[in-house]
Amino acid sequence: MKPAVLSLLLMIFFLVGCSTADPSQDTASLTYDTGADPDAWALIHAGEFLNGLHEHETMIEYDYEVMVNTVTNAQFADYLNEALKTGSVEIVGDEIVGFYQGDEFHGGRHEEKITEGDWLHVPLNESGLRIESVDGSFIALPGYENHPMVHVTWFGAKEYCEFNEWRLPTEVEWEKAARGTDNRPFPWGDDIGPENANYYSSHDVFEKAFGKAGDTTPVGLYNGGSYDGFETVDSPSPYGLYDMAGNVWQWTGDVYEGQHYRYMRGGSKANYAYNLRIWTRNNATPEYNSPSVGFRCVSDPIGS
C-alpha cells in the first residue's frame, strides 16, 4: 500500500478515535432550563390500549398517575438525604444500599436467586453519576440538577418510589402512558427525528459538546424550545409525559416468575432510534446500573 494512502487511513483513524470533552469531567458546561416541573403528574384513565409491536388489545382496569418527567438528580439527592436520616438506606463503603425482601425463586432457566437482604441502590464512585456528597449531604452536580437520575439500580428506583408512597410502573402501565390508545410507534407520533428525543447520534447539543457519547439531556428538553440553536419539537406522549422515548431507559416494577431480570423501557441516549419504539424492551439484573438508566414513578390517583 502506498504511504500516502496509509497515512490518510491512519489520519482518519486517529481523528475519529479522538473524542471531545468527557462529560463526566465537565459538570456545568451546558445548563438549560427547560421549564419542566419535576413534580408534575399526569392522570391515565382506565381502559384498553394496544400493547406491543403486534398491538394486542390489553385492558388496564384502573386509573393511575404517572410522573410527567423522569426523576431528576436533584430530586434523588433530596430523597437520599431524607432516606439516610430515616435509615431506609445506608452508605456502606462507596455504595448506597438498602433492604429488599427477596424474590420467590422458581428455578427457571438461567434464573438467579435474589435473596432477602441489603442490595445496591447507587454506586458512589461511578463515572457518570451526577450526584455527590458534600459535607455529609447529597447534592446534584452543578448543571445536572434537572437531568435524569442515572446509575440507580432497580432496588434504588423501587425504594425511591416506595419511600414517597408511590411505586414503579408495571410494563403495561408504562406502555399505555407512552402510547395512549392508538398504535403509534413513538410517544409523539409516527416518526422520529433528532428534534424529538435524545438518542445515539441524534446530534443534540450535548453530542455536539461531548462527542457521540453525548450525555443525558435535562428532563423535558424536547418541548419545542430552542437551546443554543438546537431546535426541538414538542414531543410529549398522548398524556403529556416527556422523555418516554430516549434519554434514559426507565425501570419498570414487574417481577416475573422464573427469571430474575427486571425490565426497562423507552430506549436511551446510547441507542439508535429504532430502540426508542414504544414496545422495545430491555432487561438486566436488578443490581445493574449505568449512565443510561433512570426511572419514573406511578401512583394511585389522589383521593382514590
* Residue 219 CA: distances (Å) to CA of 4, 13, 177, 227, 260: 48, 35, 17, 13, 30
Report d(CA 20, CA 25) in Å as an integer: 11
Q: Which is nearer to another protein, 23 or 98 (CB)?
A: 23
Q: Which CA distances in Å does 156 have to 80, 95, 242, 288?
A: 10, 11, 22, 10
Judged by CB under 8 A, which stretch of 12-20, 38-46, 87-95, 172-180 contacts another protein?
12-20
Contact string (CB under 8 A) for another protein, positions 191-230, x = contact: xx--------x---------xxx-----------------
Q: Which of 66, 197, 221, 264 binds another protein (CB under 8 A)?
A: 264
| Region binding another protein by CB under 8 A among candidate stretches 38-46, 82-90, 156-164, 289-297 | 289-297
Centre a 10 Å sphere on the Cβ of residue 290 and count the other Cβ atoms it contains: 18
Amino acid at 175: E
Contacting another protein (CB under 8 A), which of 27, 170, 225, 277? 277
Residues sharing a CB contact under 8 Å with residue 225, sequence separation 6 or more, in sequence order: 34, 35, 232
283 is a site residue for another protein (CB under 8 A): yes
CA distance 110 to 252: 21
Assess 2 for contact with another protein (CB under 8 A). Answer: no
**Nearer residue to another protein within complex by CB, 58 or 81:** 58
Decide: helix, strand or coil at residue 140: strand
Does 190 bind another protein (CB under 8 A)? Our answer is yes
Question: Which span sits near another protein by CB under 8 A: 38-46, 78-86, 110-118, 231-239?
Answer: 110-118
Among 31, 116, 240, 274, binds another protein (CB under 8 A): 274
Q: Which of 41/121 has CB closer to another protein?
A: 121
Touching another protein, residues 42-71 (CB under 8 A) = 53-54
Cell readout for 179 is 402510547
User: Is residue 17 left, alpha or beta, with left meaning phi > 0 and alpha meaning psi from -120 to 50?
Assistant: alpha
What lies within 8 Å, CB to CB, of 26 at 6+ separation is: 210
For another protein (CB under 8 A), the number of binding residues is: 49
- Say if residues 185 and 50 touch (Cβ distance below 8 Å): no
Nearer residue to another protein within complex by CB, 85 or 110: 110
Q: Among 80-88, 163-171, 217-225, 267-275, which window interacts with another protein (CB under 8 A)?
A: 267-275
Q: In this chain, which stretch among 31-39, 171-179, 219-227, 273-281 interacts with another protein, using CB under 8 A?
A: 273-281
The number of residues making up the chain comes to: 304
Grid cell 402510547 — which residue?
A: 179
* 180 binds another protein per the rule CB under 8 A: no
Nearest residue (CB) to another protein, 191 versus 234: 191
Q: Specify the long-range contacts of residues 79-87, CB closer than 8 Å, at least 24 apart.
A: 79/160, 79/163, 79/164, 80/122, 80/131, 80/138, 81/137, 81/138, 82/163, 83/159, 83/163
The 10 Å Cβ neighbour count of residue 186 is 23
164 lies in the site for another protein, by CB under 8 A? no
Contact flag: residue 85 with another protein (CB under 8 A) = no
Binding site for another protein (CB under 8 A): 9, 12-13, 16-19, 24, 53-54, 108-112, 126-128, 183, 185-186, 190-192, 201, 211-213, 249, 256, 258-259, 261, 264, 270-272, 274-275, 277, 281-285, 288, 290-292
